[in-house]
A and B are shown apart, each in its own frame.
Chain A
Amino acid sequence: MDNIKLSAHHMDLYFGSKQILKQVNIDFPENKVTALIGPSGCGKSTLLRSFNRMHDLSPDAKISGEVRLDGQDIYDHQISVNEVRRRIGMVFQKANPLPKSIFDNLAYPLRIHKFPKQEIPGIVQRALEESYLWEEVKDELKKPAVKLSGGQQQRLCIARAVVLRPEVILMDEPCSALDPISTNKIEELILRLKKEYTIVIVTHNMQQAQRISDKVAFMYLGELIEYGDTEQVFHAPLQELTKNYVNGHFG
Protein backbone atom coordinates (compact mmCIF):
# COMPACT_ATOMS: atom_id res chain seq x y z
CA MET A 1 0.00 0.00 0.00
CA ASP A 2 1.15 3.53 -0.81
CA ASN A 3 1.74 6.00 1.93
CA ILE A 4 -0.99 8.66 1.96
CA LYS A 5 0.58 12.13 1.83
CA LEU A 6 -2.42 14.38 1.41
CA SER A 7 -6.10 13.69 1.84
CA ALA A 8 -9.44 15.45 1.85
CA HIS A 9 -12.49 14.22 3.74
CA HIS A 10 -16.08 15.38 3.40
CA MET A 11 -15.01 18.61 1.73
CA ASP A 12 -17.80 21.08 1.01
CA LEU A 13 -16.94 24.45 -0.44
CA TYR A 14 -19.26 27.37 -1.08
CA PHE A 15 -18.67 30.68 -2.80
CA GLY A 16 -21.41 32.76 -1.24
CA SER A 17 -24.49 30.55 -1.57
CA LYS A 18 -23.16 28.60 -4.56
CA GLN A 19 -21.85 25.15 -3.73
CA ILE A 20 -18.69 24.37 -5.72
CA LEU A 21 -17.46 21.18 -4.01
CA LYS A 22 -19.81 18.48 -2.73
CA GLN A 23 -18.58 15.95 -0.17
CA VAL A 24 -15.23 15.30 -1.83
CA ASN A 25 -13.17 12.45 -0.36
CA ILE A 26 -9.78 11.75 -1.88
CA ASP A 27 -6.35 10.42 -0.85
CA PHE A 28 -3.13 11.33 -2.66
CA PRO A 29 -0.32 8.75 -2.41
CA GLU A 30 3.24 9.90 -1.74
CA ASN A 31 5.67 10.33 -4.69
CA LYS A 32 2.95 9.83 -7.26
CA VAL A 33 1.44 12.15 -9.84
CA THR A 34 -2.31 12.46 -9.52
CA ALA A 35 -4.23 14.19 -12.31
CA LEU A 36 -7.52 15.98 -11.65
CA ILE A 37 -9.63 15.97 -14.80
CA GLY A 38 -13.15 17.06 -15.67
CA PRO A 39 -15.02 19.64 -17.73
CA SER A 40 -14.58 23.36 -17.06
CA GLY A 41 -16.34 24.50 -13.93
CA CYS A 42 -16.36 21.04 -12.34
CA GLY A 43 -14.43 22.33 -9.31
CA LYS A 44 -11.04 20.72 -9.94
CA SER A 45 -9.08 23.97 -9.70
CA THR A 46 -11.13 24.98 -6.69
CA LEU A 47 -10.27 21.68 -5.03
CA LEU A 48 -6.59 22.12 -5.87
CA ARG A 49 -6.49 25.63 -4.43
CA SER A 50 -8.08 24.46 -1.19
CA PHE A 51 -5.02 22.26 -0.55
CA ASN A 52 -2.77 25.25 0.11
CA ARG A 53 -5.51 27.46 1.49
CA MET A 54 -5.54 29.91 -1.40
CA HIS A 55 -9.25 30.42 -0.73
CA ASP A 56 -8.30 32.22 2.47
CA LEU A 57 -7.97 35.24 0.16
CA SER A 58 -11.61 35.26 -0.94
CA PRO A 59 -13.83 36.46 1.87
CA ASP A 60 -16.95 34.74 0.52
CA ALA A 61 -15.44 31.23 0.36
CA LYS A 62 -16.71 28.84 3.03
CA ILE A 63 -15.04 25.47 3.54
CA SER A 64 -16.08 22.53 5.71
CA GLY A 65 -14.61 19.07 6.05
CA GLU A 66 -10.90 18.50 6.47
CA VAL A 67 -7.68 18.43 4.48
CA ARG A 68 -4.86 16.44 6.04
CA LEU A 69 -1.16 16.64 5.25
CA ASP A 70 0.63 13.69 6.88
CA GLY A 71 -2.44 13.30 9.04
CA GLN A 72 -2.42 16.89 10.28
CA ASP A 73 -5.43 19.09 9.47
CA ILE A 74 -4.11 22.09 7.52
CA TYR A 75 -7.14 24.21 8.42
CA ASP A 76 -6.44 23.63 12.09
CA HIS A 77 -5.31 26.57 14.20
CA GLN A 78 -2.25 24.60 15.33
CA ILE A 79 -0.60 25.20 11.98
CA SER A 80 -0.08 28.57 10.31
CA VAL A 81 -1.24 29.21 6.76
CA ASN A 82 2.31 30.21 5.82
CA GLU A 83 3.70 26.90 7.01
CA VAL A 84 1.03 25.04 5.02
CA ARG A 85 1.94 26.97 1.87
CA ARG A 86 5.61 26.38 2.43
CA ARG A 87 5.07 22.63 2.65
CA ILE A 88 2.58 22.59 -0.23
CA GLY A 89 3.93 24.57 -3.19
CA MET A 90 1.96 25.71 -6.20
CA VAL A 91 2.47 26.33 -9.92
CA PHE A 92 -0.19 28.42 -11.62
CA GLN A 93 -1.86 28.22 -15.01
CA LYS A 94 -0.19 31.37 -16.25
CA ALA A 95 3.50 31.73 -15.41
CA ASN A 96 3.75 34.49 -12.82
CA PRO A 97 7.41 35.37 -12.30
CA LEU A 98 7.99 38.24 -9.87
CA PRO A 99 9.17 41.58 -11.32
CA LYS A 100 12.71 40.73 -10.22
CA SER A 101 15.78 39.10 -11.76
CA ILE A 102 15.89 35.37 -12.49
CA PHE A 103 18.16 34.85 -9.50
CA ASP A 104 16.03 36.95 -7.15
CA ASN A 105 12.85 35.13 -8.16
CA LEU A 106 14.32 32.09 -6.40
CA ALA A 107 16.46 33.85 -3.79
CA TYR A 108 13.66 36.08 -2.52
CA PRO A 109 11.56 33.30 -0.92
CA LEU A 110 14.76 31.83 0.56
CA ARG A 111 15.66 35.18 2.13
CA ILE A 112 12.16 35.62 3.53
CA HIS A 113 12.30 32.14 5.06
CA LYS A 114 15.68 33.02 6.60
CA PHE A 115 17.95 30.58 4.79
CA PRO A 116 21.64 31.28 5.59
CA LYS A 117 22.92 33.87 3.13
CA GLN A 118 25.95 31.92 1.94
CA GLU A 119 23.83 28.88 1.05
CA ILE A 120 21.36 30.76 -1.16
CA PRO A 121 23.34 30.75 -4.46
CA GLY A 122 23.86 26.97 -4.19
CA ILE A 123 20.19 26.28 -3.46
CA VAL A 124 19.13 28.53 -6.37
CA GLN A 125 21.47 26.70 -8.73
CA ARG A 126 20.15 23.31 -7.62
CA ALA A 127 16.53 24.34 -8.13
CA LEU A 128 17.36 25.67 -11.60
CA GLU A 129 19.17 22.44 -12.47
CA GLU A 130 16.22 20.38 -11.26
CA SER A 131 13.95 22.42 -13.53
CA TYR A 132 16.21 21.93 -16.56
CA LEU A 133 16.70 25.70 -16.72
CA TRP A 134 20.26 26.10 -15.44
CA GLU A 135 22.04 25.55 -18.76
CA GLU A 136 19.81 28.12 -20.47
CA VAL A 137 20.08 30.91 -17.91
CA LYS A 138 23.34 30.40 -16.00
CA ASP A 139 25.04 33.35 -17.73
CA GLU A 140 22.16 35.79 -17.33
CA LEU A 141 20.90 35.28 -13.80
CA LYS A 142 20.67 39.06 -13.35
CA LYS A 143 18.27 39.43 -16.28
CA PRO A 144 14.63 40.30 -15.45
CA ALA A 145 12.61 37.08 -15.30
CA VAL A 146 9.87 38.53 -17.53
CA LYS A 147 12.36 38.57 -20.44
CA LEU A 148 12.36 34.75 -20.53
CA SER A 149 10.16 32.87 -23.00
CA GLY A 150 6.78 31.55 -21.81
CA GLY A 151 8.06 28.00 -21.37
CA GLN A 152 11.17 29.19 -19.54
CA GLN A 153 9.04 31.37 -17.28
CA GLN A 154 6.88 28.40 -16.36
CA ARG A 155 9.96 26.28 -15.60
CA LEU A 156 11.23 29.14 -13.47
CA CYS A 157 7.93 29.04 -11.59
CA ILE A 158 8.38 25.30 -11.06
CA ALA A 159 11.94 25.98 -9.84
CA ARG A 160 10.46 28.55 -7.48
CA ALA A 161 7.98 25.98 -6.19
CA VAL A 162 10.75 23.43 -5.50
CA VAL A 163 13.32 25.87 -4.14
CA LEU A 164 11.72 25.76 -0.69
CA ARG A 165 11.73 21.91 -0.67
CA PRO A 166 7.97 21.49 -0.22
CA GLU A 167 6.43 18.05 0.25
CA VAL A 168 3.57 18.46 -2.20
CA ILE A 169 3.47 20.45 -5.44
CA LEU A 170 0.10 21.56 -6.80
CA MET A 171 -0.06 22.41 -10.50
CA ASP A 172 -3.01 24.19 -12.04
CA GLU A 173 -2.93 23.48 -15.79
CA PRO A 174 0.75 24.44 -15.99
CA CYS A 175 1.01 23.79 -19.75
CA SER A 176 -2.22 25.33 -20.99
CA ALA A 177 -0.49 28.44 -22.33
CA LEU A 178 2.57 26.68 -23.77
CA ASP A 179 3.64 25.28 -27.13
CA PRO A 180 4.16 21.49 -27.56
CA ILE A 181 7.94 21.60 -27.12
CA SER A 182 7.74 23.56 -23.86
CA THR A 183 4.92 21.28 -22.74
CA ASN A 184 7.08 18.26 -23.44
CA LYS A 185 9.92 19.67 -21.32
CA ILE A 186 7.59 20.35 -18.43
CA GLU A 187 6.09 16.87 -18.59
CA GLU A 188 9.59 15.36 -18.43
CA LEU A 189 10.29 17.60 -15.50
CA ILE A 190 7.14 16.47 -13.67
CA LEU A 191 8.04 12.81 -14.17
CA ARG A 192 11.44 13.45 -12.63
CA LEU A 193 10.14 15.56 -9.76
CA LYS A 194 7.76 12.86 -8.55
CA LYS A 195 10.70 10.90 -7.16
CA GLU A 196 10.96 13.56 -4.47
CA TYR A 197 7.57 15.21 -4.36
CA THR A 198 3.92 14.31 -4.30
CA ILE A 199 2.33 16.03 -7.27
CA VAL A 200 -1.31 16.93 -7.89
CA ILE A 201 -1.97 18.37 -11.34
CA VAL A 202 -5.11 19.79 -12.91
CA THR A 203 -5.20 19.22 -16.65
CA HIS A 204 -7.61 19.50 -19.55
CA ASN A 205 -5.39 17.44 -21.77
CA MET A 206 -6.34 13.73 -21.71
CA GLN A 207 -3.11 12.66 -23.44
CA GLN A 208 -1.12 14.58 -20.89
CA ALA A 209 -2.95 12.93 -18.02
CA GLN A 210 -2.19 9.52 -19.50
CA ARG A 211 1.46 10.35 -20.13
CA ILE A 212 2.37 11.71 -16.71
CA SER A 213 -0.06 10.57 -14.04
CA ASP A 214 -0.16 7.46 -11.91
CA LYS A 215 -3.67 8.12 -10.68
CA VAL A 216 -6.58 10.05 -12.13
CA ALA A 217 -9.54 11.67 -10.41
CA PHE A 218 -12.53 12.60 -12.57
CA MET A 219 -14.75 15.37 -11.26
CA TYR A 220 -18.13 16.54 -12.49
CA LEU A 221 -20.31 19.35 -11.12
CA GLY A 222 -18.38 19.56 -7.86
CA GLU A 223 -18.42 15.84 -7.14
CA LEU A 224 -15.64 13.29 -7.36
CA ILE A 225 -17.11 10.74 -9.77
CA GLU A 226 -14.29 8.29 -10.16
CA TYR A 227 -10.79 7.89 -8.77
CA GLY A 228 -8.34 5.15 -9.66
CA ASP A 229 -5.14 4.16 -11.44
CA THR A 230 -4.65 6.01 -14.72
CA GLU A 231 -4.76 2.81 -16.76
CA GLN A 232 -8.06 1.76 -15.23
CA VAL A 233 -9.80 5.16 -15.44
CA PHE A 234 -8.95 5.59 -19.11
CA HIS A 235 -9.45 2.05 -20.31
CA ALA A 236 -11.94 0.47 -17.95
CA PRO A 237 -13.88 3.28 -16.27
CA LEU A 238 -16.48 2.11 -13.78
CA GLN A 239 -18.85 5.04 -14.30
CA GLU A 240 -20.74 5.82 -17.49
CA LEU A 241 -19.99 9.56 -17.00
CA THR A 242 -16.24 8.96 -16.82
CA LYS A 243 -16.34 6.81 -19.90
CA ASN A 244 -18.12 9.49 -21.89
CA TYR A 245 -15.71 12.17 -20.74
CA VAL A 246 -12.42 10.35 -21.35
CA ASN A 247 -13.69 9.30 -24.78
CA GLY A 248 -14.33 12.93 -25.60
CA HIS A 249 -18.12 12.82 -25.79
CA PHE A 250 -18.46 15.96 -23.71
CA GLY A 251 -16.27 18.46 -21.94
Chain B
Amino acid sequence: MRKWFNWIILTGSTLLVCLFLGVILYDIFSKGLSVLSWQFVSKPPEAAMTKGGILPAITGTLLLTFITTLFSVPFGVACAVYLNEYAKPSILTNVIRGCIRNLSGIPSIIYGLFGLALFVQTFRLGTSVLAAGLTLGLLSLPYIITTAEEALKRVPASMREATLAMGITQFETIRDVVLPKALPGILTGIILTLSRAAGETAPILFTGVAFYINGMTTALDQEFMALPYHLYMLCTQHQSIEEVRPLAYGTAVVLIILVFLLNIIAFYFRFKQRTQD
Protein backbone atom coordinates (compact mmCIF):
# COMPACT_ATOMS: atom_id res chain seq x y z
CA MET B 1 0.00 0.00 0.00
CA ARG B 2 2.70 2.42 1.11
CA LYS B 3 4.82 1.39 -1.87
CA TRP B 4 2.04 2.30 -4.27
CA PHE B 5 1.54 5.62 -2.51
CA ASN B 6 5.22 6.50 -2.92
CA TRP B 7 5.16 5.40 -6.53
CA ILE B 8 2.16 7.58 -7.31
CA ILE B 9 3.67 10.62 -5.57
CA LEU B 10 7.04 10.30 -7.32
CA THR B 11 5.72 9.47 -10.77
CA GLY B 12 3.01 12.08 -10.40
CA SER B 13 5.51 14.85 -9.58
CA THR B 14 7.68 13.85 -12.50
CA LEU B 15 4.73 13.85 -14.88
CA LEU B 16 3.57 17.21 -13.53
CA VAL B 17 6.97 18.78 -14.26
CA CYS B 18 6.97 17.32 -17.76
CA LEU B 19 3.41 18.54 -18.23
CA PHE B 20 4.37 22.15 -17.41
CA LEU B 21 7.30 21.99 -19.79
CA GLY B 22 5.10 20.46 -22.48
CA VAL B 23 2.38 23.08 -22.07
CA ILE B 24 4.89 25.94 -22.24
CA LEU B 25 6.63 24.53 -25.32
CA TYR B 26 3.33 23.70 -27.03
CA ASP B 27 1.93 27.17 -26.37
CA ILE B 28 5.03 28.93 -27.70
CA PHE B 29 5.63 26.70 -30.68
CA SER B 30 2.00 26.54 -31.77
CA LYS B 31 1.71 30.31 -31.79
CA GLY B 32 5.24 31.09 -32.96
CA LEU B 33 5.95 28.55 -35.67
CA SER B 34 3.62 30.25 -38.13
CA VAL B 35 5.76 33.38 -38.32
CA LEU B 36 9.00 31.42 -38.49
CA SER B 37 10.50 31.70 -41.94
CA TRP B 38 13.80 32.47 -43.61
CA GLN B 39 12.65 36.09 -43.86
CA PHE B 40 12.06 36.22 -40.12
CA VAL B 41 15.62 35.25 -39.18
CA SER B 42 17.41 37.02 -42.03
CA LYS B 43 15.74 40.46 -42.14
CA PRO B 44 15.75 43.46 -39.81
CA PRO B 45 12.42 44.69 -38.37
CA GLU B 46 10.30 46.87 -40.65
CA ALA B 47 7.36 49.23 -40.32
CA ALA B 48 7.83 50.04 -36.63
CA MET B 49 8.52 46.35 -35.92
CA THR B 50 5.14 45.17 -37.07
CA LYS B 51 6.77 43.45 -40.03
CA GLY B 52 10.11 42.06 -41.07
CA GLY B 53 12.43 39.87 -39.02
CA ILE B 54 14.65 39.81 -35.98
CA LEU B 55 18.12 39.47 -37.52
CA PRO B 56 19.77 42.27 -35.48
CA ALA B 57 18.46 40.71 -32.26
CA ILE B 58 19.93 37.33 -33.21
CA THR B 59 23.33 38.71 -34.18
CA GLY B 60 23.25 40.99 -31.15
CA THR B 61 22.69 38.05 -28.81
CA LEU B 62 25.43 36.03 -30.54
CA LEU B 63 27.93 38.91 -30.33
CA LEU B 64 26.99 39.53 -26.71
CA THR B 65 27.45 35.87 -25.79
CA PHE B 66 30.78 35.84 -27.61
CA ILE B 67 32.08 38.77 -25.55
CA THR B 68 30.76 37.13 -22.38
CA THR B 69 32.66 33.95 -23.30
CA LEU B 70 35.92 35.77 -24.04
CA PHE B 71 35.77 37.45 -20.65
CA SER B 72 34.37 34.79 -18.34
CA VAL B 73 35.96 31.55 -19.64
CA PRO B 74 39.68 32.38 -19.27
CA PHE B 75 39.22 34.07 -15.88
CA GLY B 76 36.79 31.45 -14.63
CA VAL B 77 38.89 28.44 -15.61
CA ALA B 78 42.10 30.09 -14.33
CA CYS B 79 40.41 30.79 -11.02
CA ALA B 80 39.18 27.18 -10.76
CA VAL B 81 42.68 25.88 -11.52
CA TYR B 82 44.10 28.12 -8.82
CA LEU B 83 41.54 27.05 -6.23
CA ASN B 84 41.75 23.33 -6.96
CA GLU B 85 45.41 22.87 -7.91
CA TYR B 86 47.50 25.55 -6.26
CA ALA B 87 45.71 27.10 -3.28
CA LYS B 88 46.53 25.41 -0.01
CA PRO B 89 43.46 24.68 2.10
CA SER B 90 43.13 27.62 4.48
CA ILE B 91 40.54 29.97 5.92
CA LEU B 92 41.24 32.40 3.09
CA THR B 93 40.49 29.90 0.30
CA ASN B 94 37.34 28.81 2.09
CA VAL B 95 36.25 32.44 2.32
CA ILE B 96 36.96 32.85 -1.41
CA ARG B 97 34.89 29.75 -2.21
CA GLY B 98 32.06 30.98 -0.01
CA CYS B 99 32.10 34.35 -1.77
CA ILE B 100 31.94 32.68 -5.18
CA ARG B 101 28.98 30.52 -4.12
CA ASN B 102 27.20 33.59 -2.76
CA LEU B 103 27.88 35.55 -5.94
CA SER B 104 25.92 32.97 -7.90
CA GLY B 105 22.92 33.73 -5.68
CA ILE B 106 22.82 37.46 -6.34
CA PRO B 107 19.80 38.57 -8.42
CA SER B 108 20.75 39.40 -11.97
CA ILE B 109 19.29 42.91 -11.80
CA ILE B 110 21.97 43.73 -9.19
CA TYR B 111 24.62 42.70 -11.71
CA GLY B 112 22.94 45.07 -14.15
CA LEU B 113 23.21 47.98 -11.72
CA PHE B 114 26.79 47.04 -10.86
CA GLY B 115 27.69 46.87 -14.55
CA LEU B 116 26.12 50.28 -15.08
CA ALA B 117 28.19 51.76 -12.25
CA LEU B 118 31.47 50.01 -13.11
CA PHE B 119 31.69 49.45 -16.85
CA VAL B 120 29.33 52.08 -18.25
CA GLN B 121 30.26 54.93 -15.93
CA THR B 122 33.55 54.34 -14.11
CA PHE B 123 35.32 52.72 -17.08
CA ARG B 124 33.48 55.07 -19.45
CA LEU B 125 32.49 52.31 -21.86
CA GLY B 126 29.05 53.89 -22.28
CA THR B 127 25.95 51.80 -22.89
CA SER B 128 27.51 49.37 -25.34
CA VAL B 129 27.70 45.73 -26.29
CA LEU B 130 31.13 45.60 -24.60
CA ALA B 131 29.79 46.89 -21.27
CA ALA B 132 26.84 44.47 -21.44
CA GLY B 133 29.08 41.54 -22.40
CA LEU B 134 31.40 42.26 -19.46
CA THR B 135 28.42 42.51 -17.10
CA LEU B 136 27.09 39.16 -18.28
CA GLY B 137 30.62 37.81 -17.96
CA LEU B 138 30.65 38.81 -14.28
CA LEU B 139 27.32 37.07 -13.81
CA SER B 140 28.66 33.90 -15.47
CA LEU B 141 31.99 33.79 -13.61
CA PRO B 142 30.80 32.11 -10.39
CA TYR B 143 29.00 29.34 -12.30
CA ILE B 144 31.98 28.69 -14.54
CA ILE B 145 34.38 28.65 -11.58
CA THR B 146 32.19 26.27 -9.59
CA THR B 147 31.56 23.80 -12.42
CA ALA B 148 35.19 23.90 -13.60
CA GLU B 149 36.40 23.26 -10.05
CA GLU B 150 34.05 20.27 -9.77
CA ALA B 151 35.40 18.91 -13.07
CA LEU B 152 39.01 19.33 -11.88
CA LYS B 153 38.15 17.61 -8.61
CA ARG B 154 36.98 14.53 -10.52
CA VAL B 155 40.46 14.05 -12.03
CA PRO B 156 41.99 11.39 -9.76
CA ALA B 157 45.02 12.41 -7.68
CA SER B 158 46.86 9.32 -8.96
CA MET B 159 47.09 10.94 -12.38
CA ARG B 160 48.83 13.99 -10.98
CA GLU B 161 51.18 11.75 -8.98
CA ALA B 162 52.03 9.78 -12.14
CA THR B 163 53.48 12.77 -13.95
CA LEU B 164 54.96 14.52 -10.92
CA ALA B 165 56.86 11.31 -10.08
CA MET B 166 58.54 11.56 -13.50
CA GLY B 167 60.00 14.97 -12.73
CA ILE B 168 57.31 16.77 -14.72
CA THR B 169 56.40 20.13 -13.19
CA GLN B 170 53.03 20.92 -11.69
CA PHE B 171 52.31 23.43 -14.44
CA GLU B 172 53.04 20.89 -17.19
CA THR B 173 50.94 18.32 -15.34
CA ILE B 174 47.96 20.67 -15.24
CA ARG B 175 48.42 21.73 -18.87
CA ASP B 176 48.96 18.28 -20.38
CA VAL B 177 47.06 15.88 -18.13
CA VAL B 178 44.63 17.50 -15.68
CA LEU B 179 42.99 20.07 -17.98
CA PRO B 180 42.54 17.70 -20.97
CA LYS B 181 41.01 15.11 -18.65
CA ALA B 182 38.66 17.67 -17.09
CA LEU B 183 37.83 19.36 -20.39
CA PRO B 184 34.46 17.70 -21.13
CA GLY B 185 33.21 18.64 -17.65
CA ILE B 186 34.52 22.19 -17.95
CA LEU B 187 32.95 22.62 -21.40
CA THR B 188 29.60 21.34 -20.15
CA GLY B 189 29.64 23.93 -17.36
CA ILE B 190 30.67 26.71 -19.74
CA ILE B 191 27.96 25.95 -22.29
CA LEU B 192 25.17 25.60 -19.75
CA THR B 193 26.26 28.86 -18.13
CA LEU B 194 26.39 30.66 -21.48
CA SER B 195 22.99 29.35 -22.53
CA ARG B 196 21.62 30.82 -19.34
CA ALA B 197 23.48 34.09 -19.88
CA ALA B 198 22.19 34.37 -23.46
CA GLY B 199 18.62 34.44 -22.12
CA GLU B 200 19.26 37.07 -19.42
CA THR B 201 17.52 40.43 -19.70
CA ALA B 202 18.12 42.32 -16.48
CA PRO B 203 21.95 42.62 -16.64
CA ILE B 204 21.88 44.11 -20.16
CA LEU B 205 18.94 46.37 -19.51
CA PHE B 206 20.99 49.34 -18.25
CA THR B 207 24.28 48.47 -19.83
CA GLY B 208 23.74 48.48 -23.57
CA VAL B 209 20.69 46.80 -25.00
CA ALA B 210 18.56 48.96 -27.28
CA PHE B 211 14.91 49.03 -28.19
CA TYR B 212 15.74 49.38 -31.84
CA ILE B 213 18.89 50.14 -33.77
CA ASN B 214 19.18 50.99 -37.38
CA GLY B 215 21.36 48.41 -39.11
CA MET B 216 23.73 46.05 -37.32
CA THR B 217 25.98 46.37 -34.31
CA THR B 218 29.45 46.36 -35.85
CA ALA B 219 31.59 47.98 -33.16
CA LEU B 220 32.11 47.18 -29.49
CA ASP B 221 31.07 50.65 -28.34
CA GLN B 222 27.67 50.51 -30.05
CA GLU B 223 24.37 49.61 -28.51
CA PHE B 224 22.75 46.39 -29.67
CA MET B 225 19.51 44.44 -29.86
CA ALA B 226 19.11 41.11 -28.07
CA LEU B 227 16.50 38.37 -28.27
CA PRO B 228 15.27 38.35 -24.66
CA TYR B 229 14.95 42.12 -24.53
CA HIS B 230 13.31 42.21 -27.94
CA LEU B 231 10.77 39.72 -26.64
CA TYR B 232 10.13 41.74 -23.49
CA MET B 233 9.71 44.85 -25.55
CA LEU B 234 7.29 43.27 -28.06
CA CYS B 235 5.20 41.89 -25.23
CA THR B 236 4.91 44.96 -23.03
CA GLN B 237 6.29 48.14 -24.61
CA HIS B 238 5.04 48.13 -28.18
CA GLN B 239 2.31 50.52 -29.27
CA SER B 240 0.21 47.82 -30.91
CA ILE B 241 0.85 44.79 -28.79
CA GLU B 242 -1.89 42.67 -30.34
CA GLU B 243 -0.49 43.18 -33.81
CA VAL B 244 3.05 42.10 -32.93
CA ARG B 245 2.06 39.20 -30.71
CA PRO B 246 2.90 36.53 -33.36
CA LEU B 247 6.33 38.15 -33.79
CA ALA B 248 6.87 37.93 -30.03
CA TYR B 249 6.09 34.21 -30.10
CA GLY B 250 8.39 33.77 -33.08
CA THR B 251 11.18 35.50 -31.16
CA ALA B 252 10.58 33.20 -28.21
CA VAL B 253 10.84 30.17 -30.50
CA VAL B 254 14.16 31.37 -31.90
CA LEU B 255 15.54 32.04 -28.40
CA ILE B 256 14.43 28.62 -27.17
CA ILE B 257 15.97 26.87 -30.19
CA LEU B 258 19.23 28.76 -29.69
CA VAL B 259 19.45 27.77 -26.02
CA PHE B 260 18.33 24.24 -26.84
CA LEU B 261 21.14 23.86 -29.40
CA LEU B 262 23.68 24.93 -26.77
CA ASN B 263 22.24 22.39 -24.33
CA ILE B 264 22.52 19.63 -26.92
CA ILE B 265 26.22 20.44 -27.30
CA ALA B 266 26.61 20.29 -23.52
CA PHE B 267 24.73 16.98 -23.49
CA TYR B 268 27.16 15.63 -26.10
CA PHE B 269 30.18 16.51 -23.95
CA ARG B 270 28.62 14.95 -20.88
CA PHE B 271 27.87 11.80 -22.84
CA LYS B 272 31.45 11.70 -24.12
CA GLN B 273 32.78 12.06 -20.60
CA ARG B 274 30.56 9.28 -19.27
CA THR B 275 31.71 6.86 -21.95
CA GLN B 276 35.32 7.83 -21.21
CA ASP B 277 35.23 7.08 -17.46
A-side residues, CB < 8 A to B, are 52, 54, 57, 59, 81-86, 89-90, 92, 94, 96-99, 108-109, 112-113, 157, 160-161, 164
Contacts and interface: CB of A to CB of B under 8 A. Distances in A.
B47 interface: no
B164 A99 contact: no
B14 interface: no
A164 B161 contact: no
A92 B162 contact: yes
Contacts of A99: 159, 177, 180-181, 276
Nearest to B160: A57
Contacts of A112: 166, 168, 172, 176
Given A81-B167, A98-B177, A112-B168, 10 more contacts: A85-B166, A85-B167, A86-B167, A90-B161, A90-B165, A96-B156, A96-B158, A96-B162, A108-B163, A112-B176
A54 B165 contact: yes
Contact of A82 (B167, B177, B181): B167
B181 A160 contact: no
A98 B165 contact: no
Using C-beta atoms within 8 Å of the partner chain, give the interface range for chain B.
Answer: 20 to 34
B122 to A, nearest CB: 39
Nearest to B158: A96
Contacts of A108: 163, 176
A45 to B, nearest CB: 12
Contacts of B156: 96
Contacts of B176: 108, 112
B159 A96 contact: yes
Contacts of B161: 54, 57, 90, 92, 96
Contacts of B168: 82, 109, 112
Interface string B148-179: 00000000101101111111110010001100
A112 B168 CA distance: 7
B178 to A, nearest CB: 10
B164 A54 contact: yes
A54 B166 CA distance: 11
A85 to B, nearest CB: 4
Contacts of A86: 166-167
Contacts of A52: 165
A157 B180 CA distance: 20
A206 B177 CA distance: 36
B88 A59 contact: yes
Contacts of A92: 158, 161-162, 165
Contacts of B166: 85-86, 89, 109, 112, 160-161, 164
B177 A85 contact: no
A157 B89 CA distance: 30
Most buried by B among A89, A112, A161: A112
Contacts of B163: 98, 108-109
A85 B159 contact: no
Most buried by B among A52, A83, A99: A99
A84 B164 CA distance: 11
B167 A94 contact: no
Most buried by A among B159, B167, B172: B167
A235 to B, nearest CB: 35
A92 B161 CA distance: 9
Most buried by A among B158, B161, B166: B166
Nearest to A58: B88
Contacts of A83: 167
A15 to B, nearest CB: 14
Contacts of B165: 52, 54, 85, 89-90, 92, 161
A52 B180 CA distance: 26
A66 to B, nearest CB: 20
Most buried by B among A59, A84, A85, A164: A85
21 contacts: A52-B165, A54-B164, A81-B167, A82-B168, A83-B167, A84-B167, A85-B165, A85-B166, A85-B167, A86-B167, A89-B165, A96-B156, A96-B161, A98-B159, A98-B162, A98-B177, A99-B177, A109-B166, A112-B168, A112-B172, A113-B167
B165 to A, nearest CB: 4
Most buried by A among B89, B162, B177, B180: B162
B158 A164 contact: no
Interface in B166-222: 166-169, 172, 176-177, 180-181
A50 to B, nearest CB: 13
Nearest to B180: A99
Nearest to B169: A82
Nearest to A91: B165
Contacts of A97: 162
**Which A-B residue pairs are the 10 nearest by beta carbons?**
A86-B167, A96-B158, A85-B167, A90-B165, A82-B167, A96-B162, A109-B166, A59-B88, A99-B181, A112-B168
